[in-house]
Amino acid sequence: MENTKWVSTWANATSIITRQVENYTKDITLRYPIKSAFKSSKLRFGFSNFCGTESITITCATVAKSDDKGNLLSDTTAITFDGKESVTIEKGIEIKSDEIPFNINSDEYISVSFYLKDFTETRSAVLVTGPLSKGYYALGNNVNEKVLPVEKMKSTNWFYFLNNVEVLTEEKNKTVICYGDSITAQSWPDYLAEKCFENYKDTAIVRRAVCGTRILRQYECIQYDSYGLKGSNRFEREISSVSGADTVIIQHGINDIIHPVGVENNVFRPWSDLPTAEEMIAGIEEYIKIARNLGLKVYGGTLLPIEGWRTYADFREKLRNEVNEWIRTTDKFDGVVDFDKALRDENNHSAFKIGYDSGDHLHPSEIAYKVMAETVPESILE
């Protein structure tokens, strides 16, 4: 079959790295192994400096076939930008590379490597985890090295600058977007992708998720700026830049509920940040409107149990239940993914089922993340 359609086979959100003194780097190679969902004849890559406060320069970048640990199995191919191997990305800007001729089969890994020669503000990044989500960095220019030098390299779950990998593939192939916060930045989208690799080979799963992010608010302080952009500064940009998508699953809003504690307890978390159910619903409805305008189907994911979390209170539980009831009953979604029902204790709906709590009473365990992936209806994946 002829390859005529660009489809995102991998993607992440772009947010703000946790603020540290050493938020600049120099003479570093970043390498990210990525498993392709589809057979393809061309690749192109998205790089983002959306959250940067100054320009950054990628000195050179390459792609090669690899194993899942970033060890290269083929010669490298240069990634170019308007025909040049180096590119400067201004602050607040996202770019795409040139189309790169590159044959790859479904289920094969590629590794994207890029070198930052000069001092570079490493502010535009996102933290994600899961069986398919790991990167590496090494001192020096190693973009063409088959194996990164072990004495000069470390693994990382921060994904800097690279935020989209597109493949030219068959018309039948498509992408499902998982949108949300730290719960979606963790493992369940990877487990859902693994399910598609096995059983739904026409579908890729990509993640647009940022730890700590809220629908309605964002922090304007360096203490919490890594908690990301609010929905109106995220959703349309992140969703519209995914090629070949036909569906978005939205699981977002728990941080709006649990963050406010009053300025007497935390100067950055006033009670005025606590939304009503109606305000949260209006925010989700705006998501739906944007997604519909982009031609996407939209599924609502219910908010998970929080009993035992450090700010848990009856009024927060009431708010969570009101939002979940709307998600379950509104006719504005194409369907519902009832994550809450799948993970809650049958005798206490406010808490996780035994074995499904990671221990902090907010994030699921790895077993529960696998259950979340299984909860996604097969009709979305087919």
Whole-number pLDDT of residue 13: 97
C-alpha 309/C-alpha 59 separation (Å) is 45
Spelled out in words, what is the top-level CATH class assigned to the domain 173-381? Answer: alpha beta
* Alpha carbon of residue 61 to chain centroid: 22
Tokens coding 328: 């379950």
Contact call for residues 218 and 145 (beta carbons, < 8 A):
no
Residue 335 buriedness (CB in 10 A; 0-12 / 13-18 / 19+): middle
Whole-number pLDDT of residue 9: 97
Contact call for residues 320 and 257 (beta carbons, < 8 A):
yes
- 199-245 confidence digits (pLDDT tens): 999 999 999 999 999 999 999 999 999 999 999 999 999 999 999 99
Contact call for residues 169 and 38 (beta carbons, < 8 A):
yes
Element (H, E) at 89: strand 87-89
For the chain, what are the domain ranges?
Answer: 5-166, 173-381
Whole-number pLDDT of residue 364: 98
Residue whose pair of structure tokens reads 């570093």 in the numeric block:
28
Contact call for residues 176 and 202 (beta carbons, < 8 A):
no
- 237-283 confidence digits (pLDDT tens): 999 999 999 999 999 999 999 999 999 999 999 999 999 999 999 99
Q: How confident is the prediction for the chain on average, in pLDDT? A: 97
Tokens coding 129: 């985890």
Q: Model's pTM, two decimal places?
A: 0.97
- 331-355 confidence digits (pLDDT tens): 999 999 999 999 999 999 999 999 9
- Cα–Cα nearest to 357, from 300, 308, 301: 308
Strand pairing partners for 335? 299
C-alpha 360/C-alpha 357 separation (Å) is 7
C-alpha 303/C-alpha 285 separation (Å) is 16
